[in-house]
Amino acid sequence: MAGKKREYDEDDVRVRPGRSSRPRTRTRPKHDDAIEGFVSAVDRGRYAVEVDGGQPVTAMRARELGRKSVVVGDRVSLVGDTTGAAGALARIVRITERKSVLRRTADDDDSTPEGRLERVVVANADQLVIVSSLSDPPPRTGFIDRCLVAAYDADIEPLLCLTKADLAGPAEVLDYYAELDLPHVLVRPDSDLAELRERLAGQVSVMVGHSGVGKSTLVNRLVPDADRAVGVVSAIGRGRHTSTSAVALPLPGETGWIIDTPGVRSFGLAHVSADSLLHGFPDLVEGTVECRPNCEHTPNDNDCALDAWVMAGNADPRRLASYRRLLASRAGDETENQ
């Protein structure tokens, strides 16, 4: 029997247990204890979130958000350590539906891999404050036009803020935009900013402007401790000043927010359609009913019904000219430095 070969049966077979076959659930925690906050700054995966009656909270995105981006202006829900203490880190578990989205195209050049990629600049803004100086440097209407296109596309109100009004008059610029019903304010070094403060009160306002137009000076006058506030929110990263990122600053008296965007000096507008731009021209909308589908409403579109609409006296010809000028700016046919 010593040399007899052993026979094996199924009881001798050991099977390594595999991973659990329990189906994965898609049920997510409800986070009923989450608190609400407002994203005031973003820096390399960390977010400064303002919560009612507390210190700014540093947070990160929860994995359950997937690829949803979080940007300045977002209203979010937080869980975890929301004390705002040094070293504390909360998690953003929900993003409230945005009421407005200011976008730009990363690059208008189709030859680059990232060309025509849409990026969200700011969420939930009420108005876009376009800061332009009247002299030194002179006003750049091409830049203003592109900002107007971005505002109309985002369905937020534009406001033209003309600085250095002590050096030149505004007549030429205002005449250029006379048919757009574009609200404006004039700012001088000695002005009290009362009119501008009134327009900013209770609003979330995004400020954009070229270098040298006095935007930083204006922000510091509106928010006297703006430099200190920016220093605080920059601490969400590694102490780097967030000069290339949007930063939301509360106006004194809790009357509203200014979102300073020093890194956004221009807008790529490849994502904006001709019909989207029409939001800023309600008097022209009805005239497009007879246009062919996908009409671009340019002078080269022979079937565009807007020309006949204007010739029939239904709208001012200068309104159509302004609309088409913005279309050209959107397409890059007008230079931004005009």
pLDDT confidence of residue 109 = 46
> Which of 157-161, 234-238, 263-267 is most confident?
157-161
Task: Give the model's pLDDT for residue 103.
Answer: 86
Q: Using CA of residue 212, residue 215, residue 219, residue 221, what is the dihedral sign?
A: positive
Confidence label for 106 from pLDDT (cuts 50, 70 and 90)? low
- pLDDT at residue 159 in the model: 97
9 compared with 148, residue with greater pLDDT: 148
What residue ranges in 127-193 does DSSP mark as E strands? 127-133, 157-163, 184-186
pLDDT value of residue 17:
60
Least confident of 110-114, 254-258, 283-287: 110-114
HSE toward the beta carbon, residue 55, CA cutoff 13 A: 16
The set of residues, in sequence order, having a beta carbon less than 8 Å from that of 334 and lying 6+ positions away, is 142, 145, 325, 328
- Phi, psi values for residue 238, rounded to 5°: -115, 30
Tell me the one-letter amino acid at 280. G
Q: How confident is the model at residue 43 (pLDDT cuts 50, 70, 90)?
A: confident
Instruction: Considering only residues 167 and 15, tell me which one the structure prediction assigns the higher pLDDT.
Output: 167
Does the pLDDT value for residue 215 go beyond 80?
yes
- Cα–chain center distance at 83: 28
The per-residue pLDDT for 337 is 46
pLDDT for residue 262: 72
Tell me the pLDDT band of 228, cut-offs 50, 70 and 90: very low
State residue 101's pLDDT score: 93
Mean pLDDT computed over 257-286: 80
Asked if the model's pLDDT at residue 108 lies above 60, the reply is no
Overall average pLDDT of the 163-176 stretch:
94
Instruction: Tell me what pLDDT residue 236 has.
Output: 58
The percentage of residues in the chain with a pLDDT greater than 70, rounded to a whole number, is 78
Radius of gyration, alpha carbons of the chain = 27
Q: Identify the band that residue 74 occupies on the pLDDT scale cut at 50, 70 and 90.
A: very high
CA distances (Å), 228 to each of 201, 203, 245, in order? 22, 22, 16
Q: Which residue has the tokens 């091409």?
A: 142
pLDDT at residue 9 greater than cutoff 90: no
Mean residue pLDDT across the chain: 82
Q: Which residue has the higher pLDDT, 338 or 73?
A: 73
